[in-house]
């Protein structure tokens, strides 16, 4: 069965003989970079939040949670509680997110290294068993 995907080398021929393969590939890269840039800027903006503003969000969340325990929140209050939670999550991500990103990258490198060691062991074992025969 033929693959439904077009290889980069055949992409130019697929649309026209004059099509530029990079014009097919590059927009996807730009979307990814744009998303990464948006996330980076969002984190930067959240990191600019003052401790006083963070305390206000914490106080508002606490007030709404206490009210929720004693009575039902209005729709506007529920939405405001979600907004306060969202803001606090963004602030927390801005403060600890870069460290978590570094940790995630280190874990990924370790997992890749571990997989490489496993492949090396398999190759060694295959070589070793082949030698004994």
**pLDDT tens digits along 20-50:** 444 455 666 666 667 778 888 888 889 899 9
Structure tokens at 41: 């800027």
pLDDT of residue 39: 82
Structure tokens at 11: 């992409």
pLDDT of residue 103: 93
Alpha-carbon gap, residue 86 to 68, rounded angstroms: 17
Mean pLDDT for each consecutive 10-residue tract of the chain (133 residues)? 40 42 56 76 89 97 97 97 96 90 93 96 90 53
The domain segmentation of the chain, as residue ranges, is 21-132
């Amino acid at each position: 069965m033929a693959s439904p995907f077009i290889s980069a080398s055949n992409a130019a021929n697929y649309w026209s003989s004059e099509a530029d393969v990079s014009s097919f590939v590059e927009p996807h890269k730009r979307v990814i970079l744009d998303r990464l840039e948006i996330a980076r800027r969002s984190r930067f903006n959240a990191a600019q939040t003052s401790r006083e503003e963070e305390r206000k969000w914490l106080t508002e969340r606490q007030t709404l949670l206490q009210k929720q325990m004693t009575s039902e929140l209005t729709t506007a209050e529920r939405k405001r509680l979600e907004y306060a939670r969202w803001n606090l999550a963004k602030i927390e991500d801005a403060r600890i997110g870069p460290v978590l990103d570094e940790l995630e990258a280190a874990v990924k490198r370790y997992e890749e290294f571990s997989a490489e060691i496993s492949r090396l062991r398999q190759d060694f074992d295959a070589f070793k068993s082949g030698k004994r025969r």
